[in-house]
Amino acid sequence: METERYIVAIDLGTTRTSLTVAKTDMGNIDIVFHESAPSAGVNRGSVQNPRNAAEVIRGLVSKAETDLDIKIEQAVVGYPKYYIREVTAEASMEIDASSEISEETIAALKDMAESKVQIEEIETIYASLSQSFGDNDSIGIREDDMVGRMSDYIEGNFKVFIGRKSHTDAIENVFNKVGICPIRKYFTPSTTAEAVLDASEMENGVALVDMGGGVTSVSVFLGGVLRHYASIPFGGRSVTYDVRSQCAIDDELAENIKKGFGVCLSDRLQSLSDRIIRIKSPSSERDSSKHIPVKLLPEIIEPRERESTDAILYEIEQSGCADELRCGLVITGGAVEMGGVNTLWQEMSGYNVRTGYARNRFSAECLDVRRTDITTNIGMILAAREEHNLNCARPASTVEKPLNNMFEPEPEPVKPEPEPEPVKREPVEKPRAAAKPKTEPKKKSGGFFGGLFEEMMNSDEQA
């Protein structure tokens, strides 16, 4: 029987860093905490400044611990979504024909395929995903169907996804500074798909587009398998920068205007097209305010969105599955909420398009998860849920001392200093007359009478 445990997921985004806590008990899973903060030290999903990134995470961890009265010791986190390349790898082996093919056999075959992949010293493998298997009788067998078969020969095809080792080292550095352990790192294109897509979509063909702040990625599924992954360095932040430069305003104001009035297509403005955004300058001059017509925003935003859409549609073509995506496109991520995004994608691609939210697998009393900016965290939580021994936090009442000091030796108890023994005082004698200082004998001088005089003086002193 499963006991109560906590799963903590952290998403290091380009513009926002988020932390989500789920509690699992008796098979139920509840989202009990979600909070985000502006990112620092992160660019295109990769940590560039561990110290700044750690400060943001430390604040989120502190708030979660205070609100839930827990102590967070571990967390799951995703690999960066950019600077990833994919290669195809194959492997085969002879096995005992009298035994069933087990999951351990599949894992050994996968390790053999990975060992054949040529990677540079600066690279590391993020994930290896099976494409198909074969034996002496059949080919194109799925992994689930391969386990349990009997054969004396097995072969497998895999997609291996490779990223930069420095990016994973930076994640370790950040979490060490915060004082928690990154217990698992996930290849989030797979985990997010499990949260957003259903089995029929992945079986019949679908492209999952994840629009983040600094990176937009696409994961193409067909036959229940991830067939292709790619990403581009454009996202919601690119649109914000365009608004900032065209309107000559700062980043924060540009982001607020984009969220409040930004749309991809001018016909989505409706009654707002005649509105004017008046920005008052902090100076005291009367004529220092700036006026931005709302109808100007689509002229700024639409070209950038079309550029990103063209790049993603090109990657879908490169997958070789473009004509087999019967379930079209599913778009998720924090940058999807802008008006007209789905319409633009449907117009340019010709596919059916829907917004991707996390599917309802949670208690009715949990926090609202019908948001596109939480799907990455939800996917990691669902993946971690399958690991029944994984517990990221514990009640604060069970914590005896800070985690940072758990390996330090206990200080020795301070022994009380013994009280000083009373000083025994000798009886005070009646003071005597002070003795005259002893002087060195002087040389006899003055002849006979001089010497006789000195002897008489010495004999008187002795008396």
Query: pLDDT tens, 4-38?
Result: 899 999 999 999 999 999 999 877 889 999 999 99
The answer to whether residue 400 scores a pLDDT higher than 80 is no
Note down the domain range covering 251: 199-358
Query: What confidence tens digit (pLDDT) does each residue in 375-384 have?
Result: 999 999 999 9
| Rounded Cα gap, residues 346 and 110, in angstroms | 38
Does residue 59 fall inside a structural domain?
Answer: no
Does residue 349 fall inside a structural domain?
Answer: yes
Does residue 420 fall inside a structural domain?
Answer: no
* pLDDT level of residue 284 (50, 70, 90 thresholds): low
Query: What confidence tens digit (pLDDT) does each residue in 225-252 have?
Result: 999 999 999 999 999 999 999 998 999 9
User: What SS3 class is residue 259?
Assistant: helix
Query: What confidence tens digit (pLDDT) does each residue in 346-358 have?
Result: 999 999 999 999 9
Number of domains in the chain: 1
CA 238 to chain CA centroid, Å, is 22
Q: Which pLDDT score is estimated for 411?
A: 56
State the CATH number of the domain containing residue 215: 3.30.420.40
Does residue 310 fall inside a structural domain?
Answer: yes
Does residue 42 fall inside a structural domain?
Answer: no
Query: What confidence tens digit (pLDDT) does each residue in 177-222 have?
Result: 999 999 999 999 999 999 999 999 999 999 999 999 999 999 999 9
Query: How many CA atoms does the CB half-sphere of 340 hold within 13 Å?
Result: 20
| Rounded Cα gap, residues 218 and 123, in angstroms | 22
Does residue 70 fall inside a structural domain?
Answer: no
Query: What confidence tens digit (pLDDT) does each residue in 93-147 have?
Result: 999 988 999 999 999 999 999 999 999 999 999 999 999 999 999 999 999 999 9
The answer to whether residue 450 scores a pLDDT higher than 70 is no
Asked whether the whole model's pTM tops 0.85, one would answer no
Of 291-300, 336-345, 430-439, the one with minimum mean pLDDT is 430-439
Does residue 177 fall inside a structural domain?
Answer: no
Does residue 225 fall inside a structural domain?
Answer: yes
Q: Which residue has the tokens 């549609």?
A: 313
